[in-house]
Amino acid sequence: MPNPIPLKLTILLACIFALSPLAIDTYLPAVTLIADDLNTQAELVSMTVSLYVMGLAFGQLIGGPLSDKYGRRRLMLIGLLIFSFASCLLITAQNVELLWLYRLIQALGGGISAVCVPAIIRDHVSGAQAAKLLSFIALLMMLAPAIAPSIGAGILKFTDWHGIFIFLAFFSAMTALATKLILKKPRKDNAKSLQKMSFKQILSHPQAYKYVLAQAFGYSVLMIFLANSPLIYMEYFKLTSSQFSMVFSVNVVVIIFNNRLNSFLLNKFEPDTLLKVFFAMQITGALILLTGATLFPHQVAFSIIGFALSVGAISGIGPNAQACFLNYFPNNSGAASATFGFIQYASGAIISAVVSYFYNQTLWPVSITIAFCAGFSMFAIHYLGKTQLVK
C-alpha cells in the first residue's frame, strides 16, 4: 500500500483544483468593464465562461494520458506554466477574439494540471480513503468560487481588469513553484510497468462506465443551476441582486454540509453505498422542483428547496463517483481521470447551454431537465454494470 498523502501536498492539490474556479469567478465583476474596453458586447465576453469549461475538458483529455506516460509532476508543471503564460497573454488582448483564444489556452493549462490531482490521489490511496481525500480537497476548493468575486472586485478598486489576470498569472506561477518543491520526482522504474489503456477501453469497462455516466448527468444539474439561476430568481421571481445572493448562499451551505457529512459517513460506509444516498437526495430535489413548476409556479420556496437538495447533493456525488471509478484503473489513473473529467465537464457545458437556449421565462425547461438528469443518474448507478469493486 502506498504512503498516505501529507497535508502540505493535500493543500497543494486543492490549490491546483481551485485554479479554474478562481479563473472563472474572479473576472465576473469585470465583464462589463472588459466589454467596454474592447468595444464589444458583454454577452460576448461572458461566452468565455463556456469556452473555459470546454477548454478545461479538452485539457484534461490531453493531460491525463501524458501524465501516465511522463509523470504527474512534469505535466502539472507544464499545465500551470501554460495557465500562467496565457494569463499574461490575456493582459495584452485588444479584441474579444484574442480574449477567446487566450482564455481557451488558459483553460487547457488548467485542465492539464487539474487532471493530475485525482490521479495522484489514486496513486496513493483507494476506496473510502480516496473518497474522503477528494471530499476534503473539494471542501478547500469550494472556498475559491465563494471568495473569487470578492477578490476580483477588490482588485478592481485599485486597478483595472488587467490586474485580475496579473493576479491569476502570479497565483499559478507560485503554485508551479510549490509543485516543484513539494511534489517528489517519480521513480523511473514505475513508469515502464504501465500497460496503456485507450479511452475506449476505459469507457467500455463493464463495471466502471456507470460511474462516469452517472457523474456526467449528476454534475450537469450543477451546471444547469449556475447557468439559469439568475434568470429564474431575478427575472422570473423578481428577486433583487441582494436577495439572489442570499438565496444562492443556501446552496453553498448545503454543499458544505453534505461534504462534511459525506466524509463522516465514509468512516462507516463504502463510497458506492453513499453514492446511491446522495443521488436519492438529488432526485428528491428534482421532484420538488417539478412539483413547484406544476402546482405552485409562483412560490419561490419550492425552487429554493429543490435547488438546494439537487445541487447540494453534488458534494457527496462527485468524490464518491470518482473514487469508485478510479478504483478500476490503478495503473492508468491519469487516463481514467481524464476520461472522467472530460465527460463530466463537456456534458455539463452542453446540457446547460441547451437548457439556457430553450429557457422560456417559465420553470419547465430547468425542472424537466434536472429531473431527467437526476433520474438517469439514479438508474445508471442501480441498474448498469456490476457493483463489485476492485480492492
Question: pLDDT confidence of 241, banded at 50, 70, 90?
Answer: low
Could you give the CA distance from residue 144 to residue 150 in angstroms, rounded to a whole number? 10
Contact call for residues 313 and 289 (beta carbons, < 8 A): no
Look at residue 193 and tell me whether its pLDDT is greater than 60. no
- Other C-beta atoms lying within 10 Å of the C-beta of residue 117: 22
Mean pLDDT calculated for residue range 125-134: 76
Please check whether the domain covering 202-383 is classified as CATH 3.20.20.100.
Answer: no
Based on its alpha-carbon atoms, the radius of gyration of the chain, rounded to whole angstroms, reads 20
For residue range 252-308, what is the model confidence (pLDDT) as tens digits? 889 889 988 998 998 899 999 999 999 999 999 999 999 999 999 999 999 999 999
Please check whether the domain covering 7-184 is classified as CATH 1.20.1250.20.
Answer: yes
For residue range 294-326, what is the model confidence (pLDDT) as tens digits? 999 999 999 999 999 999 999 899 889 988 998
Max CA distance (Å), the chain = 64
- In the chain, where does the domain assigned CATH 1.20.1250.20 lie? 7-184, 202-383
pLDDT for 341 equals: 84
Pick the more confident residue, 25 or 224: 224
Look at residue 211 and tell me whether its pLDDT is greater than 50. yes
For residue range 60-113, what is the model confidence (pLDDT) as tens digits? 889 888 888 888 889 999 999 999 999 999 999 999 999 999 999 999 999 999
| Residues of the chain by 3-state class (helix, strand, coil), percent to 5 | 80, 0, 20
pTM for the whole thing?
A: 0.77
Q: Which of 292-327 are b and which e, b meaning 16 or more Cβ less than 10 Å from the residue's Cβ?
A: bbeeeeeebebbbbbbbbbbbbbbbbbbbbbbbbbb
Look over the chain and give the mean of its residue pLDDT values, rounded to a whole number. 85
pLDDT for 97 equals: 93
